[in-house]
Structure 1
């Protein structure tokens, strides 16, 4: 299944509205993970990036890439959408970093090019993991790390299509998780915990940690409706995988 053309069209269409809604939060403070804007300082997933060669898969308007470049990382921001890359270029400031249009499942980089590949949703939510994870592993140097945040399978199985919100009832088939129709023929991807482990191990990646970020009570989900509002304080909404290449 080739989801690249439809996903590119979707993000070109929604880029302006997406950035208008979310950049005031994620653009104002560096290193925020996911739907609940959990600071990386709380979970310590990335660590010090000074002097490291870093690739962001699905950089959007460059909120993460801009912050890491300012910390002294040698960053490359990759995104499928030219509209998202235009937003990143417009907000880049100093220091500058390169932007590349491309897909996570077909990375246009040489083997052993990066010390860190990461994404917050982005490339590993919008590309087939069995294709994108081996590509990320290929461009990592030995000992390099792949760190990525995706929606938890719990979150997906509790999503009620009829009301467009996450509830306390199971609505989806856990063992049927794979592709998610996003409208306009676009597709996002989700795996069970076991399938994520198998995909990572097949790419010779060692799992160092699986962080399930837990927001404080009352923390608003910036992207989805949940019932109850503090859903993610009680059940894992996201899975933040920390791995390294053997």
Structure 2
């Protein structure tokens, strides 16, 4: 669940100094360089802070506490070939392997994958098949997988998300499922604050310029990209994928604030924080 650290205007902490934060264009190569470096540098802190909540072999779709073993959005995975995209420490992939799937787990960050290997070794598990790669250039043959999944990983962190959807369709077998969770696009219109101040529109929902944290020379350190719901649907259908369901989980009032930032019962009771797209390749 790499991307739950989302820091964009509608997605998370926005911790960069104000004069080092911009809404500007950032191409795919710049985005890849920035996000690979950021996640390599911050993986240790991320896993230390969130690892217990994520678990070592649980499939958590989103901060609203939506677990795959309860909602079964992927169905029975036993005997199927599954790829987790943007896997972080591969908690979701490890869960699926425990349910009988043949799993590969892919991430842009080498350090995140090192944490995945650490967990396997600590628990005495058979090592997962780990792959370091850009999600818009999947290093797999066509029709290699029955299921692709991503829980807040990769999709918001690429500039060319349309290409990612085409790649997903390419490596899926006919009848296969591609399911991914992202911060709900409406979050981009609001400041990332959990209280009432986080319920006032501050940004344009229609402004697709990414959120960029950058150094004094203007070099990007972290990039997160925004797409509207309509953008996502168009990217999927043009890639040859059929939208089967769009899950917008409600925030449990007794959950507290497990992720900080804009995740709260107040906001979650009024607007969705997560969008889970369930698609199929016909």
TM over 0.5, shorter chain = yes
Q: Which has the higher strand share?
A: 1
Establish whether residue 81 from structure 1 lines up as the match of residue 109 from structure 2: yes
Residue 38 of structure 2 aligns to a residue in which SS? helix
Long gaps (5+) in structure 1: none
TM-fit CA distance, 1:156: 1.9
Give distance in 2, aligned partners of 1:223 and 1:203. Answer: 33
Instruction: Provide the rounded CA distance (Å) in 2 between the counterparts of 1:182 and 1:42.
Output: 37
Shift of 1:218: 3.1
Cα offset, 1:164, TM superposition: 9.0
1:185 shift after superposition: 2.7
From the superposition, tell whether residues 46 and 207 of structure 1 become closer, same or farther in structure 2 (CA, over 3 Å): same
Q: What residue number does 2:65 align with?
A: 37
Looking at structure 2, the residues matched to 62 and 8 of structure 1 have their Cα atoms a distance apart, in angstroms, of 16
Q: Distance in 1 between matches of 2:263 and 2:245?
A: 29
Alignment match, 1:186: 222
How do residues 53-64 of structure 1 correspond to structure 2 at under 5 angstroms?
53-64=81-92
Contact kept in structure 2, 1:167 and 1:228, CA below 8 Å: no
Which residue among 173, 176, 189 is the counterpart of 1:141?
A: 173
- Distance in 2, matches of 1:22 and 1:77, equals 19
8 A Cα contact 1:142 1:245, kept in partner: yes
Which residue is 1:120 aligned to?
151
Give distance in 2, aligned partners of 1:178 and 1:144: 32
Instruction: Flag structure 2 segments of 5+ consecutive residues without an equivalent.
Output: 1-26, 215-219
Shift of 1:37: 2.7
State the SS of the aligned residue for 1:214: coil
Q: Structure 1 length normalisation: TM-score?
A: 0.92
Q: Deviations over 1:82-125 (max 9, x none)?
A: 10010000102423321001010111111110001110011112
Q: TM-score normalised to the size of structure 2?
A: 0.81
For the residues of structure 1 that align with 2:209 and 2:105, how far apart are their CA atoms? 26
Superposition RMSD in Å: 1.9
